[in-house]
Structure formats: C-alpha cells, structure tokens
Amino acid sequence: DQQVKQNSPSLSVQEGRISILNCDYTNSMFDYFLWYKKYPAEGPTFLISISSIKDKNEDGRFTVFLNKSAKHLSLHIVPSQPGDSAVYFCAASPEGSYKLIFGSGTRLLVRP
C-alpha cells in the first residue's frame, strides 16, 4: 500500500525549460512534505519542503506546490539545468512522527 506515489518514473526536458515533477499521497495525516534529490552512489540530499499549512514554497529555481484537497504536490524547476539531472524523491512525514515516507522516485534528465 503505497502512501506516496510518483507515477512518472522518468522525465526529459530541454535545458532552460521548466521541469515539473508530480507526487500524490493518500494519507491525510501527513503534515510535512519534502523533495530530495539523489545522484548515483550518493545518499539523497534535501532540496525543499513545505508544511501542510502552506500551499507554496519557493527557493531560488525550485518551487513546491501543495494541493491538499487533491492530495497532490509538485516540484517546479525553472530554468532547468543539466546539473539538475538526478532522481527526485517526494517524501512525507506523518503528524507526530519524524520518519519519512518516500515515493519511488522520478529520474529527471535535462538535455543540453
């Protein structure tokens, strides 16, 4: 029973364009959402997060949008750069817990 789903295993975009990565969740008790980025042979690194009381959080080229009614969040990267090519994981934290529940990841390729 996957509580956090990333339905697109891969995404390819042109350098300079927008990358949009999507994530859906089923548990309404999640109160904190995060995106992690992972390069091969390295551990995931934190990218950006959003609390359930907000609907948008922006950090430079990265923006996360949260739609609680649809139980959907997305990560926008503008403009995309070749160095952004990596696997992106969506994660959520249940209320009252510190553990993270991860999606299965989306592999982003930014073409020069």
Contact predicate 63/75, CB 8 Å: yes
Helices (H) and strands (E) in the chain, counts: 0, 11
| CB of 72 vs other proteins, minimal distance in Å | 17
- Site stretch for other proteins (CB under 8 A), options 14-22, 61-69, 77-85, 96-104: 96-104
Phi, psi of 111 (to 5 degrees): -85, 130
Q: Is 13 in the site for other proteins (CB under 8 A)?
A: no
Q: What are the two backbone dihedrals, phi and then psi, of residue 71, each rounded to the nearest 5 degrees?
A: 50, 55
Please pick, from the candidates 1, 53, 70, 99, the single residue that binds other proteins as defined by CB under 8 A. 99
Binding residues vs other proteins (CB under 8 A): 4, 6, 36, 41-46, 49, 89, 91, 97-105
